Amino acid sequence: MEDIYSRLLAGDRRAVARLITLVENGDPAADEHIRRLHEHTGKAHIVGITGAPGAGKSTLVSSLTKVLRARGLTVGIVAIDPTSPFSGGAILGDRVRMQDLATDPGVFIRSMGTRGALGGISVATNDAVNILDAFGKDMVIVETVGAGQVEVDIVRLAHTSVVVTMPGGGDEIQAIKAGIMEIGDVFVVNKADREDAGRTYTEILMMLEMSDRPDGRMPPVIRTVATTGQGMEELADAIQDHYQYLKREGLLEKKARERILAELLEIINRQVARTVTRALEEDPEMIDLVSKLVETREIDPHAGARMVIRHLLKKG
């Protein structure tokens, strides 16, 4: 148990798997290891891959990873499955798709459910990314199904955000709704083997030209066929170019600062919630008293909540 930290730094994959399970379960036993690992983080290029269900993200990650490996990079993969109540292993489909990577010691793959994760995917995912970073992976890829807030979370987490679309299905419209046109760094039209792919490609180019991006940058749009590997070299180039761009423009530090701030807020929120829950459990009379006051209409619920918070703060 205690030597998870040293085993992990020595390259033991089981220690990595073990620690990710601890963070996934919100086990406080992970805290000490995470704290000690912190000084070994900050070296990996963190890449978020997001897109509609079935867009081909897992296939693409697998295909992309082969190209990155050929370029000599080691890769960590965290696949987030927001619907899965299970943890500790890849869902069957992903396991099949990513099978040939599983035996490569330069690759570490992990699927995570988000069950019970307070504040969405953030804390556990952040921890998993940090663990793989400390483990020495050059690139850490986070795959997640895009759904509004999740996309935004991933953008905060990653240095480079890749948005995967596919022909048809009105994905493009959804992408606009989520404001993803403004924040994606690299766009992919996957399933370029389908005949309506050309139209989707043009639509995305047009939307990007019209969009008002805070970075004033025109992101690349890349056509891929994840199942055959077509376009994967260009995609790897685009991802690596974006990282160089961040470095060149001094934006990497800014991203890192934003990431740490978001991470801190998430952790503070979680710890405050835990502390409050515990304090309320220890003092059932107080909450009882306040709910009676609300019930008899002497105070409103907001004032009641403020009373409780003030009381807890005074107790320290």
Ligand X SMILES: Nc1nc2c(ncn2[C@@H]2O[C@H](COP(=O)(O)OP(=O)(O)OP(=O)(O)O)[C@@H](O)[C@H]2O)c(=O)[nH]1
Binding site for ligand X (CB under 6 A): 51, 53-59, 93, 97, 145, 190-191, 193-194, 225-227
Q: Please, which residue, 167 or 304, has the CB nearer to ligand X? A: 167
- Does 58 help bind Mg ion (rule: CB under 5 A)? yes
Q: Please, which residue, 225 or 239, has the CB nearer to ligand X? A: 225
Compute the Cα dihedral for 188, 47, 126, 245 and give only its sign: negative
- Does 190 help bind Mg ion (rule: CB under 5 A)? no
Q: Please, which residue, 4 or 80, has the CB nearer to ligand X? A: 80
Query: In the numeric block, which tokens belong to residue 57?
Result: 């993200």
First to last CA, the chain: 32
Q: Please, which residue, 8 or 221, has the CB nearer to ligand X? A: 221
Q: At what angle do helices 13-24 and 29-37 cross, to 10 degrees?
A: 120
Q: Please, which residue, 197 or 290, has the CB nearer to ligand X? A: 197
The one of Mg ion, ligand X, none whose footprint includes residue 21, by CB under 5 to 8 A per kind, is: none
Q: What is the nearest approach in angstroms of ligand X to the Cβ of residue 21?
A: 21
Contact pattern from residue 4 through residue 43 relative to Mg ion, giving x for each residue in contact according to CB under 5 A and a dash for the rest:
----------------------------------------
Q: What is the nearest approach in angstroms of ligand X to the Cβ of residue 273?
A: 29
Burial class (CB within 10 angstroms; exposed 0-12, middle 13-18, buried 19+) of 109: buried
Q: What is the nearest approach in angstroms of ligand X to the Cβ of residue 53?
A: 4
The one of Mg ion, ligand X, none whose footprint includes residue 178, by CB under 5 to 8 A per kind, is: none
Residue 101: name the closest of 70, 128, 132, 127 by CA: 70
- Please give the Cα distance from 273 to 44 (Å, whole number): 31
Compute the Cα dihedral for 268, 273, 274, 278 and give only its sign: positive
The one of Mg ion, ligand X, none whose footprint includes residue 227, by CB under 5 to 8 A per kind, is: ligand X
- Does 144 help bind Mg ion (rule: CB under 5 A)? no
- In three-state secondary structure terms, 23 is helix
Kind plus residue range of the DSSP H or E element containing 305: helix 301-315
At 162, phi and psi to the nearest 5? -105, 125
Q: Which residues make up the interface to Mg ion (CB under 5 A)?
A: 57-58
